[in-house]
Amino acid sequence: MSEKIDLLLEPRWVAPVEPATVLEDHAIAVRGDRIVAICPRAEAASRFTTREYLRLPDHIVIPGLINLHSHAAMSLMRGLVDDLPLMEWLHKYIWPTEAAHVSLDFVRDGTLLACAEMLRGGITCFNDMYFFPQAAAEAAVEAGMRASLGITVLEFPNAYASDATDYLNKGLAVRDQWRDHPLISFCLAPHAPYSVSDATFERIGTLAEHLNLPIHCHIHETTAEIEDSLTRYGVRPLARLKALGLLGPTFIGVHAVHLEESEIEILAKFGCSIAHCPGSNLKLASGIAPTTSLIKAGVNLGLGTDGAASNNRLDMFQEMRQAALLAKVASRDAAAFPAHAALRAATLSGATALGLETSIGSLQPGKQADLCAVDLGQVVTQPCYDPVAQLVYAAARDQVTHVWIAGKCCLNNTSLMNLAENELKNSVSLWQNKLVIRPGEQSG
């Protein structure tokens, strides 16, 4: 007797990520929110009776991409101000604009915009760091996306919270409300060593251990950050976090551009993960992260886009390609960070950092059916000798045709299933009129 399933996909190729191989002429069987089997097409035809069947003759199916670091709502500030170094960009423009405009509505609308962009580019899960996580959760669920939301913490006040305790209390209350939702999880998200005190970091470390939550924090993004830490605390930021007990398998360090060899060894020793954001690092002139050394040391390396205000696009295809190319030129080794490693960084490594590796990040029976189908039959990706190499080095996000999250189709033949694009564009236009910096005008 045949097994009943909900969806049978027959792409030309399947890239399960683990193992780092490509399966040809295989089918993916999905029942409910789970992958039931990945098997040869002939076996699938005799084994399953399906409610829905989709043949994808020119496609590769990969795990949904995982954006390990984002500020989703900042999509409303895309292009607001460009071509400035990080601290000038933050202090003169971004933080004053946020102080004037960030609200529940801002975060909800900005996160919806980000979700639409990410889904179109094959991203099924994002790890966010921003304010009003309740609004971000509502937006992610409306889009059908998986999200790990930051309980963001700073010492200074804004429209969301008055001090570090207020940030924590409000964020933990939202976690309590959403803790049982299948698509929503949480991280503790102290913004950065230069914006969080020792006492707050110690409290976050205690909470992370007690609640079994990852810690998501910017670290060693610029040389100025390190110099400031040496002046204020007498040690580099990573050493400070180590002394405060923050480092461990649940720690996700964002950027980690400027690392000494001893610091790479510390990250490896404590089992930390790094969210590598090559596009943002390049645009803000922060530098080139030592990814080859991190990987050789055994540090888990995922990829993130950062926010659209600093990167201008939430595009994991671009991040995969840039990560691979930068690793090669920095190490002067063309074999560094090969295509399969880049795909793993964009999928399973991100899941591992978030503690979700048993559920998502690779294509295996029993795992959640978070899937992305990419059309490699277009002229720009022909001829195709190695589909994973073609995916990383030649394909673009507009070649993503279908996305499923927990077995539900969120992008069908390039059309968003849960979001009305015209309504979204109208909302964004209203925000643009409020946020625009006019000639001769400067925030702050």
Q: Which pLDDT score is estimated for 107?
A: 98
Range of the domain at 392: 3-63+368-413
- Could you give the CA distance from residue 325 to residue 161 in angstroms, rounded to a whole number? 41
Q: Which pLDDT score is estimated for 312?
A: 96
- Helix (H) or strand (E) holding 39, with range, is strand 34-40
Q: Are 324 and 404 in a shared domain?
A: no
Cβ atoms 397, 386 nearer than 8 A: no
- Could you give the CA distance from residue 342 to residue 294 in angstroms, rounded to a whole number? 14
Nearest alpha-carbon partner for 47 in 76, 8, 12, 85:
8
**Residue 323 resides in a domain:** yes
**Is the Cα dihedral 15, 19, 20, 24 positive or negative?**
negative
Query: How many independent structural domains does the chain possess?
Result: 2
Q: Are 34 and 150 in a shared domain?
A: no
Q: Are 149 and 284 in a shared domain?
A: yes
* Residue 359 DSSP label: T
Q: Are 164 and 310 in a shared domain?
A: yes
Q: Are 11 and 111 in a shared domain?
A: no
Residue 8: CATH number of its domain: 2.30.40.10
Nearest alpha-carbon partner for 189 in 173, 206, 171, 163:
171
Q: Are 57 and 191 in a shared domain?
A: no
**Residue 358 resides in a domain:** no
360 phi, psi to nearest 5 deg: -140, 175
39, β-bridge pairs: 27
Nearest alpha-carbon partner for 351 in 338, 363, 366, 339:
363
- Could you give the CA distance from residue 226 to residue 236 in angstroms, rounded to a whole number? 6
Q: Are 76 and 47 in a shared domain?
A: no
Tens-level pLDDT at each residue, the chain (444 residues): 799 999 999 999 999 999 999 999 999 999 999 999 999 999 999 999 999 999 999 999 999 999 999 999 999 999 999 998 888 988 899 989 998 999 999 999 999 999 999 999 999 999 999 999 999 999 999 999 999 999 999 999 999 999 999 999 999 999 999 999 999 999 999 999 999 999 999 999 999 999 999 999 999 999 999 999 999 999 999 999 999 999 999 999 999 999 999 999 999 999 999 999 999 999 999 999 999 999 999 999 999 999 999 999 999 999 999 999 999 999 999 999 999 999 999 999 999 999 999 999 999 999 999 999 999 999 999 999 999 999 999 999 999 999 999 999 999 999 999 999 999 999 999 999 999 765 445 544
Q: Which pLDDT score is estimated for 90?
A: 87
Instruction: Calculate the dihedral angle through the C-alpha atoms of 72, 77, 78, 83, rounding to the nearest 10 degrees.
Output: -120
Q: Which pLDDT score is estimated for 443?
A: 43
**Residue 359 resides in a domain:** no
Residue 229: CATH number of its domain: 3.20.20.140
Is residue 219 classed as helix, strand or coil in its secondary structure? strand
**Residue 441 resides in a domain:** no
**Residue 303 resides in a domain:** yes
Q: Are 339 and 194 in a shared domain?
A: yes
- Could you give the CA distance from residue 239 to residue 90 in angstroms, rounded to a whole number? 25
Three-state DSSP string of 135-161: HHHHHHHHHCCEEEEEEEECCCCCCCC
Cβ neighbours for 219, distance < 8 A, ≥ 6 positions apart: 192, 193, 237, 238, 241, 253, 254, 255, 256
Last residue in a domain, options 353, 378, 397: 353
Q: Are 90 and 142 in a shared domain?
A: yes
- Could you give the CA distance from residue 421 to residue 278 in angstroms, rounded to a whole number? 29
Cβ atoms 15, 61 nearer than 8 A: yes
Q: Are 74 and 89 in a shared domain?
A: yes
Q: Which pLDDT score is estimated for 437?
A: 62
Q: Are 139 and 231 in a shared domain?
A: yes
| Residue whose token pair is 């924090």 | 217
Is residue 125 classed as helix, strand or coil in its secondary structure? strand
Cβ atoms 286, 241 nearer than 8 A: no
**Residue 437 resides in a domain:** no
Q: Are 254 and 341 in a shared domain?
A: yes
Residue type, 342: A
**Residue 435 resides in a domain:** no
**Residue 301 resides in a domain:** yes
49, β-bridge pairs: 4
- Helix (H) or strand (E) holding 165, with range, is helix 164-178
252, β-bridge pairs: 216, 273
Q: What is the pTM of this model?
A: 0.97
Query: Encoding tokens for residue 341?
Result: 């490693």
Instruction: Calculate the dihedral angle through the C-alpha atoms of 195, 319, 289, 296, rounding to the nearest 10 degrees.
Output: 120
